[in-house]
Amino acid sequence: MGRSWARVRSARVFSGRRPPSRRREHPRTAPRWRGRFDREALRKPSSEWRRRSWLNVHSVAGQVFILQLVIVVLLVAASLTSLLLLSRHYSTTEARNRSLAVATTFANSPGMVEALHAPNPTAVLQPRAEVVRQSSGMDFVVVLTTKGIRLTHPNPDRIGQHFVGTIAPALEGHSVTETYPGTLGPSIRAVTPINDAQGKVVGLVSAGITVKKVSGLANNELPIPIGAAAASLALAMGGTGLVSRRLRRQTHGLDPIEMTRMYEHHDAVLHSVREGVIIVGGDGRLMLANDEARRLLDLPPHPEGRPITDLGLDPHVAELLASGRVATDEVMVTGKRLLAVNNRLTDRNGGPPGSVATLRDSTELRALTGSAEAAQERLKLLYDAGVEIGTTLDVDRTAEELARVAVPRFADFVTVDLAEPVLRGEEPSRLSGSEMRRTAVLGIRDDHPFYPVGKLFSFISSSPQARSLENGQGVVEPDLSQADGWQSQAPNWTGKVVDYGIHSLVTAPLSARGVPLGMVNFWRSEKPEPFEEDDVSLAEDLASHAAVCIDNARRYTREHSMAVTLQRSLLPRVLPEQDALDVAYRYLPAESGVGGDWFDIIPLPGARVALVVGDVVGHGLHAAATMGRLRTAVHNFSTLDLPPDEILSHLDELIASIDQDETIGNAGGNGSLVTGATCLYAIYDPVTRRCSMARAGHPPPALVRPDGSVEFLDLPAGTPLGLGGLPYETAEVWLPEGSDLVLYTDGLIEDRSREIDEGLELLRGALAHQDRTPEQICTAVLDALLQTRQSDDIALIVARTRVLRPDQIAEWEVPAHPSEVAHVRASVVQRLEEWGLAEAAFTTELILSELITNAMRYATGPIRVRLLHDRTLICEVSDSSSTSPHLRYAAATDEGGRGLFLVAQFTERWGTRYTPDGKVIWAEQPLP
């Protein structure tokens, strides 16, 4: 059977499927297979049918007719346009030549020069110019003087007026023509010179004519080409109509899309469709079978035209195809295939008698569907693993996430074992027999028989885990009851596992950068099918992704441990002994990175205590190291006994210096490290109950009064350390005895999910209680404000104020006379006896005598002496001078200079602090 026959047969079969609105068949052929619509159309006159067919632009014939007609019209229009443009060009050229010829001829006519020199040139030249104008058909012929004055003109009123036009070239002896818009339309005029016998220009002649006069002749000839064009157009339309009529008969009125689609669908059905298609005629013979139908039914070569019952088909299939019975997804067995058959009649919409059947191989479809579903489930599992594993930088939690992803979709139980160094953040060894610690166990039930979490053990060489570690690939044990190597690991334990119902195992190594980190074991008990080799690749993919996350967590654990160790080594390990404050504190490093928060409690002279809390910008080792430098600097500056604002100014300069050093050190890197910090420095005096404070960009402290009321002290904020440029301010607050001063860092009140104002209100609520110790207050604050996931360091100090009783303080004002020293010594000895410190009387007398004598010698103004009975005996001598004494070694011949040396020898420490009114020299002695 040839291709042309197939096309004709397919056209006959599928023609009934086209919408009635698309049918444009010839009346003589339509009744063979057209439906109701075409039979009604046959009743119309043939002239109307032919007119509708020709005017239908959707058909191939109509489109060809319109295209050819448009081409002919465009050609005729182009020809006429060219003729008109050419005619206009010729008319303009003729007008220019005629005006130039008339002007030149008249200018060179005899007697022109004599007439110009006559007493009345106009009387001589006007008649001659009019004769020339009338005889040549020009619009005007004008004689001009060299100054452009008209001597002649068809309108006598314009004689003597200036000529409007270009005359400069003519005055130089050249003829010139120009186009100008005249009153009667576009015109051409020429100007030519009149030369005397010596060649001198003595006058000008201008002649002009409208283009319309010249083009009249050409317009009289236009009917000839227009008639020829009309005849050509009519002839072309007639020929085009004949061609279109023949093309319409051959294409049956189909449009190009329908024709192309019909043949494309025909080829697709025959060769490309992966579903069998069989068309059976009304006589029970096979008309068409595509390639898929031939494969599914094992048809013989060239089956078209043969009865369907003679093709050797299964009787049930042959009966259905021959009967034309309607069937929908009817399952039939033919050979080794399970076919789903659909059968429909073709004459329901006016088509030819017969039926068309489609065949689908359900066996292959079922297998493909199962494989696709399994692949989709595995891809979904790997996608979920990428999202759910590694959400934190915690090794144990990452192992639990791996087990949680695989249960129960891939395995009934999962155990994760990691090398002991991995849990400590260290680099694991490459030995496959290294000790493992059970890190995660998860399954569909809690009563599992596996090693518990935390157990330390080693895999023997015959176990599948050891083999997997050795070759770096996954190992499958389909039947654990027959796995002798696995059972040798621990016979008692493995026997319990088998008795529990666990029957299959896949193990895969957790390796990162070629280094084994541990093992992951997937177990099955409820699912009856064992693990297969195809499951190994999925287990390896899960283990590979989890190993990268565990290795990241391990390295983070190592760095975090180093930073925490450094940070804790830089923070105070124990609180110093002092009686001014009852202090409790909490320090919590961040989970995701060590920051630069720090605090300090520094005893100061005069029973005073300094409280410091600060926060370095950033996280990691750099922030921790900077924190250590700042804490050391605070201690050093505190020994100078400076007020809080001056200490913050010194710290600000230190941070600026650190920034400068870091910028210079990182000049060759990607960028400089910018350091910044916030700080709050407070000094509490238990004698005066005053607390002087200054802060540099730090959150304000909270004051809890004895009645439980909470107040956030309104201190001048100041700029963070390192910005520089602005001074800091010190504020003083009087604190009642038993008040709680609460200092903290922003990690306590601020979080990604909580604003500072909300955190401050929570802190206020946690502090607003009475009768709690500082330790209880710290616990209550953390319980109220601590987040589930801590993203920043937290430093918290709760300091309850104490005061020195009046009987612990003794003060005297000393007149500036040496004789008063003895009276002061006597009073001091008496007070020391009252305090039970008579053993320290001699040393105290010696110290006070030296300090008072120096004040009388070198200072002016009032001198005051104060004794404080605290953990030590503190002697203070104040004066109005700002000169500080210095310790020096006196020469053998010197009469003085040994007093301060003796003071230093008899005291634990001594020093000077400055006040707004002068200075205080103090000395501390241990209590006897």
Mean pLDDT by 10 residues, the chain (928 residues): 38 39 37 37 42 55 74 79 76 84 87 86 87 86 89 88 86 87 80 87 88 67 71 74 70 69 71 82 87 86 87 85 85 80 80 84 65 76 86 87 90 91 77 74 89 88 86 88 84 86 91 87 88 87 90 81 70 81 88 75 92 85 80 89 92 85 57 72 94 94 93 91 85 93 90 82 91 92 81 88 91 84 88 89 86 80 88 88 64 50 78 85 87
* pLDDT at position 19: 40
- Cis-peptide, bond into residue 774, ω within 30° of zero: no
Q: Is 566 helix (H, G, I), strand (E, B) or coil?
A: helix
User: How many whole angstroms separate alpha carbon 896 and alpha carbon 890?
Assistant: 7
Angstrom distance (rounded) from CA 888 to CA 885: 10
Cβ-Cβ contacts under 8 Å for 544 (sequence gap 6 or more): 511
Both tokens of 796, joined, read 């918290």
Tokens coding 14: 């599928």
Q: CA-based angle 86:89:92, to the nearest 5? A: 150
Query: Which single residue is written with the structure tokens 């051409």?
Result: 188
* DSSP category for residue 771: S
Beta bridge partners of 507: 475, 521
Query: Which residues, 6+ apart, have CB-to-CB distance to 484 below 8 Å?
Result: 462
CA distance 586 to 568: 12
CA distance 402 to 394: 12
Nearest alpha carbon to residue 206 among 142, 273, 254, 287? 142
Q: What is the pLDDT of residue 892?
A: 44
Look at residue 48 in the predicted model and tell me its pLDDT.
Answer: 43
Ramachandran class of 335: left when φ > 0, alpha when ψ lies in -120 to 50, beta otherwise = left
pLDDT at 60: 64
- The three-point CA angle 796-801-803 to 5° equals 160
Query: How many whole angstroms separate alpha carbon 601 and alpha carbon 795?
Result: 13
Tokens (6 digits) for 347:
């004459």
Count of Cβ atoms closer than 10 Å to residue 892 Cβ: 4
CA distance 308 to 282: 11
Tell me the CA end-to-end span of the chain in Å, nearest whole number: 130
How much is the pLDDT for 31? Answer: 36
What number of other Cβ atoms are within 10 A of residue 593's Cβ? 18
Burial of 624 (0-12, 13-18, 19+ CB in 10 A): buried
Measured between alpha carbons, how far is 397 from 388 in angstroms, rounded to an integer?
11
At residue 349, the pLDDT reads: 66
The sign of the torsion formed by the CA atoms of 567, 573, 577, 581 equals positive
Residue 796 · residue 782 · CB < 8 Å: yes
Q: Identify the pLDDT of residue 692.
A: 95
Would you state the pLDDT for residue 216? 60
